[in-house]
Structure formats: structure tokens, C-alpha cells
Amino acid sequence: MLQLDRVSLSYGSFRALDNISLHAGAGELVVLLGANGAGKSSIFLAMSGIHRISGGSMRFDGRELGGMKPSQIVQSGLVHCPEGRKLFPAMSVEKNLTLGAYVHRRDRAGIRKTLEEVYEMFPILFQKKDDPAGSLSGGQQQMVALGRALMSRPRALLLDEPSLGLAPLVVKQMFEIIQRINRAGTTVLLAEQNAYAALGIAHRAYVIENGHIVMEGDRDTLLKDEGIRKAYIGG
């Protein structure tokens, strides 16, 4: 479903991605594991059409992503939920959510139905739908960011560091929701530093360091790997 083949990306003279190849099949939950600055966000920014790659190919459902506008990529069903939430703090929760449905703006009945599904998944957001998004807790703001991505009706979801800055209990809840989204049929590519939580729900994972894939395998293989445990889990 998602296929990157020998993808490279540079920021000026800095090579952020160097011959990256990875894939995620339909219905898979695949984790990108790596420290801050390893290249995880660069992969997502390239796939969502924000940054242009300098080499290689990116395909979604057999369709080449290179040259497509970000709005076209979202319309195709590939949706990016960025690191740091990127909400409009003065706007209400509901307005932030409905911004995610922009590509479906002519389908008002469909937007209302998707919004109801998001509120069913995050009941607290329904309670706070008229509150400014900036007044919410960090965990609630992450729910808004994830809900906004779901408003785009993704078939594949790129989740960038959803646990960043959240309390352990909130992280547990967030990962349960991500697993639920995946089990409902959405392919998920999840970039995380929180290895233990991420691998706990993953089918497979890639480890990225300095713009290179240095390891890949299923969840159990990576959890048992001594180097991975020392670097990302602490044990």
C-alpha cells in the first residue's frame, strides 16, 4: 500500500534521508523508531508533499506521490498528523476538527457523520467542542490533532510522535486509540521515540538513525534485541 524505494532528501547541504526503503501493507501498523533528528519527520514531510525528495520514489496504492500537491495526497487517502499537534489555539475544538475535512467540504452530511465518529472516539472533545483548543490539556490537544486527521477519512495515517510530552497514563490511552483505528482497517505508519509503547502495538518496525534504516523486523524481534533495548527502552 505504502512503498518508499531508495528515497533521499536534503536540506541544503544536509542529507536528512539517504536511500530509505520501507513499506507498509494494507491494514498494517508499522513503527518508525528513532531518536530526535534521526529522519522520521522528514519521511512524513516528504510523503505528505511538504518537502520534495532528491531521489527515489514514493508510492501509495501504486500511485507515485512525487509531484502531487499536499491536498491531492490527502484526497487520495494518505493523511499526516504532524508532531507538535499544530492546532489553532484560539479556534474552538470543533472548528479545529472540521478543518481536517476541508478536502471533503462539499459533503456536509459525510462531514457530520465523521465528526460524530470522532466524538464517539473522544467523548471529552464533545464536552469541550466550543472551548478554544489552546485551553485543553496536552493529551486533549493530541486527541484534537488525531481527530482532525481522522476527519480527512484516511486509508493510511502518518502519525508523528503522538506521545510527545504526554503523561504515561495518557500515552497508554492514546496508543489504545491508535490500535483501535488500525484494527478498524486504517493502515498506520507511526513515528516514535517511545519504543516500548510503540512496539507494544506494532506489527513491524524500522529503526532509523542519521537518515538511514539500520534495522527492521517484527515487534518481538526488536523488543528482544539488546541494542534496541539499551538505546530506546533502557534495559
| pLDDT(235) > 60 | no
In a domain, 50, yes or no: yes
In a domain, 130, yes or no: no
* β-pair partners for 22: 4
Please give the Cα distance from 155 to 67 (Å, whole number).
20
Per-residue model confidence (pLDDT) at position 28: 98
Which is nearest to 201 in space by CA: 226, 218, 225? 218
In a domain, 200, yes or no: yes
Please give the Cα distance from 146 to 181 (Å, whole number).
10
Mean predicted lDDT score pLDDT of the chain: 94
Would you state the cell numbers that stand for residue 126, as one nine-digit string? 464533545
Q: Write down the pTM of the prediction.
A: 0.94
Segment 197-210 shows an average pLDDT of: 95
Give tens-digit pLDDT for 75-101: 999 999 998 888 999 999 999 999 999
If pLDDT is split at 50, 70 and 90, which confidence band does 226 have?
A: confident
Q: Residue 48 maps to which CATH number? A: 3.40.50.300
In a domain, 181, yes or no: no
Per-residue model confidence (pLDDT) at position 234: 62
In a domain, 41, yes or no: yes
Task: Name the domain count of the chain.
Answer: 1
Which domain range does residue 14 map to?
Answer: 1-77+157-163+189-235
Sign of torsion, CA 151 157 158 160? positive
Helix (H, G, I), strand (E, B) or coil at 54: coil
| pLDDT(103) > 80 | yes
What is the bridge-based pairing of β-strands 63-64 and 55-60?
antiparallel
Other beta carbons within 10 angstroms of residue 160's beta carbon come to 23
* Long-range pairs for 117-124: beta carbons < 8 A, 24 or more residues apart: 117/150, 118/147, 118/150, 118/151, 121/147, 121/150, 121/177, 121/180, 122/146, 122/147, 122/177
Segment 65-69 shows an average pLDDT of: 93
- Half-sphere exposure of 224 toward its Cβ, with a 13 Å CA cutoff? 5
Segment 89-115 shows an average pLDDT of: 94
In a domain, 177, yes or no: no
In a domain, 14, yes or no: yes
Q: What are phi and psi of 133, to 5 degrees?
A: -60, -30
In a domain, 203, yes or no: yes
Are 156 and 60 spatial neighbours (Cβ–Cβ below 8 Å)?
yes
Would you state the cell numbers that stand for residue 134, as one nine-digit string? 489552546
Segment 137-159 shows an average pLDDT of: 96
| pLDDT(206) > 70 | yes
